[in-house]
């Protein structure tokens, strides 16, 4: 007995029901031609993940129901093939203030033009970026269906994402006669998540004694990225196959019945470095946000510093040089080496590069405010004016030509408030918003040593990486004038913000009390800024986005 199973690891578009149906039909047709008789699509593949409050609209649920019926009809000619499709199901009764939820995060098994089985997700995650209990009610059933024909027939237990992280759903499938577990997923990327999934699914396989196929989504959706990395495990928890990361694939596996039981085999992609995953996540996040929202291109302020340099390299890898524009906006405090390095990087990347001095506008602002500021020393006010002039110029270019502005602030800056509202925070998409400064440097060196998209080796001039970071908003300014060293700041940020360690624990771990109190205080008082920042790509398990929900107004002191 040999059954070919395919995983449609595809990039679906939220709300594009017709386009998503076409993708599934094309993948099913391709898989059928390869001899497959079971195709798995990701969680909520029909409507895209995550549709958020679209799930609350009856018209959206009705459209999904119609799309599912149409998909079943289009697949009717693929005789004997089972296609698993993720979709919302059901409805609700609503008033303005109360909703009785009857919707499910569901999956249907389509065969010969009919829905032959349906399953509702049992475990609904409500942590990190997940908010599924807002939209769905948990299921309570089991779904075991047959795939293949005659001697190639196998009984498949269907699970949806979070279900497989708990013991009970898989065990109930085994008790219901499943010989193979099929898990369909839409699990957002963060550093290391792909191999964590493999380890958790290995636990599930050992507990049930059943082989497992893990079908995963790929693509960017607002702040989250899905990296693909579908895989299969045999009953002994050994890796049977691994699909590519961060790109679409119709991933084929062979399931054989041997004297030792069912055995899966397929191609295995090699283990990847964290830097390679991070780079591809940023590239995919930019490409899909720009492409899916219909922007003709991007522009950014190129300062000669490390953050804007990294964003430029990501943008070119994502979109190509022709769709990227860099603008250098020097002030009276811009060092000559900043001009030189910015020009050189733009040349290496082959992008359009322009220089627009902000000196006339800066002098005009100071003149307008001279009577108000008479007798007062220059301070952060004048620094912020410079940043806001740059933000205004970039947004004007965006409005006139249609390209979206990419902001260049990193997570360390967003945490401590070293960013300017309506200045360097002005824009439409924050590419490295979830990347700490130390990670920025590490990723810049990785990109200089690697050229994954063929856009050029060593795109970032070495001096940009090695010179002390500076906002260049006053004479001889460096970031470390008023912040702890980034190695210290980022370590505190990770442990306090991402892992919820206490201030006392950080001090006990050896961090200086003054550094801990300063960084944690800055995190607290700058929440109002982060609420007004653009959406950005999530790459850690806790970002300043949906993962972080702290009140702006509060008096709690740890």
3-state percent breakdown (helix, strand, coil) of the chain, nearest 5: 40, 20, 40
Active site residues: 43, 121, 161
Give the pairing type, strands 231-233 and 239-242.
antiparallel
Collapsing DSSP to helix, strand or coil, 434 comes out as: coil
Contact between 53 and 60 under an 8 Å Cβ cutoff? The reply is no
> Could you tell me if 264 and 254 are in contact, meaning their C-beta atoms sit under 8 angstroms apart?
yes
Least Cα distance to 193 among 224, 238, 227 occurs for 227
Rg, the chain, Cα only: 26
- Order of strands across the sheet that contains 298-301: 352-355, 324-328, 298-301, 404-407, 429-430
Q: What are residue 26's phi and psi, to 5 degrees? A: -65, -45
CB count within 10 Å of CB 4 equals 19
167-171 — which CB contacts under 8 Å span 24+ positions? 167/204, 167/207, 168/122, 169/122, 169/123, 169/142, 170/204, 170/207, 170/208, 170/210, 171/207, 171/208
**Rounded CA gap, 360 and 332, in Å?**
10
Q: Which helix (H) or strand (E) holds 239?
A: strand 239-242
d(CA 158, CA 106): 10
Bridge partners of residue 3, in order along the sequence: 255
| Cα(557)–Cα(296) distance, integer angstroms | 47
Which residues, in sequence order, are CB contacts of 539 under 8 Å at separation 6+? Answer: 189, 190, 191, 225, 278, 281, 282, 434, 435
Q: How far is CA 145 from CA 40, 176, 374, 447, in A?
A: 13, 10, 79, 46
CA distance 464 to 456: 17
Tell me the C-alpha distance between 259 and 503, whole Å: 58
């Amino acid at each position: 007995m040999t059954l070919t199973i395919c995983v449609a690891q595809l990039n679906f578009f939220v709300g594009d029901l017709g386009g998503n149906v076409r993708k599934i039909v094309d993948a099913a047709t391709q898989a059928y031609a390869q001899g497959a008789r079971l195709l798995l699509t990701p969680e909520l593949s029909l409507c895209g993940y995550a549709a958020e409050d679209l799930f609350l609209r009856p018209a959206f649920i009705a459209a999904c129901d119609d799309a599912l019926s149409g998909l079943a009809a289009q697949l009717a000619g693929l005789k004997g093939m089972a296609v698993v499709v993720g979709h919302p199901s059901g409805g609700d009764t609503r008033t303005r203030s109360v909703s009785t939820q009857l919707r499910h995060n569901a999956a249907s098994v389509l065969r010969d033009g009919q829905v032959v089985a349906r399953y509702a997700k049992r475990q609904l995650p409500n942590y990190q970026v997940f908010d599924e209990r807002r939209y769905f009610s948990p299921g309570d059933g089991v779904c075991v269906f047959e795939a293949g024909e005659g001697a190639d027939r196998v009984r498949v237990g269907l699970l949806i994402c979070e279900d497989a992280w708990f013991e009970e759903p898989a065990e109930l499938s085994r008790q219901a006669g499943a010989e193979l577990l099929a898990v369909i997923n839409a699990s957002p990327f963060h550093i290391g998540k792909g191999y964590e999934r493999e380890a958790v699914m290995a636990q599930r396989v050992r507990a049930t004694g059943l082989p497992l196929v893990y079908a995963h989504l790929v693509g960017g959706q607002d702040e989250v990225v899905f990296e693909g990395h579908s895989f299969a495990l045999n009953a002994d928890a050994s890796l049977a196959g691994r699909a590519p990361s961060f790109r679409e694939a119709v991933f084929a596996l062979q399931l054989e019945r041997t004297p030792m039981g069912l055995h899966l085999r397929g191609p295995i992609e090699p283990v990847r470095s964290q830097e390679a995953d991070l780079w591809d996540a940023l590239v995919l996040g930019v490409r899909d946000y720009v492409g899916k929202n219909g922007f003709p291109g991007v522009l950014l302020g190129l300062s000669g510093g490390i953050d804007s340099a990294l964003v430029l390299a990501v943008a070119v890898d994502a979109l190509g040089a022709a769709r990227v524009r860099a603008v250098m906006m020097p002030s009276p405090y811009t060092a000559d080496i900043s001009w030189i390095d910015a020009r050189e990087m733009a040349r290496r990347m082959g992008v359009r590069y322009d220089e627009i001095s902000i000196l006339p506008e800066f002098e005009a602002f100071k003149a307008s405010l001279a009577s108000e500021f008479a007798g007062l020393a220059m301070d952060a006010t004048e620094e912020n004016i410079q940043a806001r002039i740059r933000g205004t110029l970039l947004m004007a270019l965006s409005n006139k030509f249609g390209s979206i502005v990419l902001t260049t602030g990193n997570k360390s800056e967003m945490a401590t408030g070293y960013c300017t509202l309506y200045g360097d925070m002005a824009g439409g998409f924050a590419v490295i918003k979830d990347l700490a400064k130390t990670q920025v440097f590490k990723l810049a060196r990785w990109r200089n040593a690697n050229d994954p998209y063929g856009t050029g080796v060593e795109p970032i001039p070495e001096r940009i990486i090695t010179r002390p970071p500076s906002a260049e908003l006053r004479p001889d300014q460096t970031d470390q004038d008023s912040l702890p060293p980034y190695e210290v700041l980022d370590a505190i940020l990770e442990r306090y913000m991402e892992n919820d360690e206490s201030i006392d624990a950080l001090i006990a771990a050896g961090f200086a009390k003054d550094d801990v109190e300063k960084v944690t205080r800055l995190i607290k008082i700058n929440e109002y800024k982060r609420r007004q920042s653009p959406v950005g790509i999530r790459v850690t398990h806790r970002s300043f986005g949906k993962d972080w929900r702290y009140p702006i107004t509060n008096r709690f002191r740890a």
